[in-house]
Amino acid sequence: GARAGYDEHAIEAYSNVEIMSKSFGLYSMLQLGVRILCIINSKKIQKVFHSEIFNMYYNLFFIGVCMSLLFYNNFTMGRLLFYLDIFIPIIISMLLFTMRFTKGRYHKLYSFSTIFLMSISILYLFYVASGNSVEYTLFKFDLFRQ
């Protein structure tokens, strides 16, 4: 490690990136709020996107949300459930499309709430990342280093 230009601290920081104990903080709560809005409005989304493909997407999304909440700190299950995360943006976009083009009492509220929660969560990620200086990669590009 030291010959490649990495000190022991950088290698140890990389090896501890996926620590088994995660905390359920503000970002997780915001993301859960968006997913709950999707689950609450699933019948409305199903009326708009009436197809077997939507049912498959939604079922995999729902299984992924439930299992990730049940096994939140389990690294092995988290790695397996990582493949179900692809359905999250699909279902969220279907929710936003449904709320935009259907009429109802709370549809604008759900639409604005979803956009607000997603915006706050990305701003929170930017805020957390701005103060974090841990090096997560084991490769460096030092063009001017001799």
CB 37 within 8 A of CB 96: no
Q: How far is CA 21 from CA 4, 7, 18, 70, in A?
A: 30, 25, 9, 14
Angle at 38 between CA 33 and CA 42, to 5 degrees: 150
What's the rounded Cα separation, in Å, for the pair 82 and 21?
17
Percent of the chain with pLDDT over 70: 74
- 115 with 126: CB under 8 angstroms? no
Q: What pLDDT, in 10s, does the model give residues 61-82?
A: 999 999 998 988 777 888 888 8
Model confidence, pTM? 0.70
Cβ(81)–Cβ(64) below 8 Å:
yes
Q: What is the pLDDT of residues 105-138, one digit of tens each?
A: 778 888 888 899 999 989 988 888 777 655 555 5
Q: What is the pLDDT of residue 74?
A: 79
**What span, in angstroms and rounded, lies between the C-alpha atoms of 131 and 24?**
19
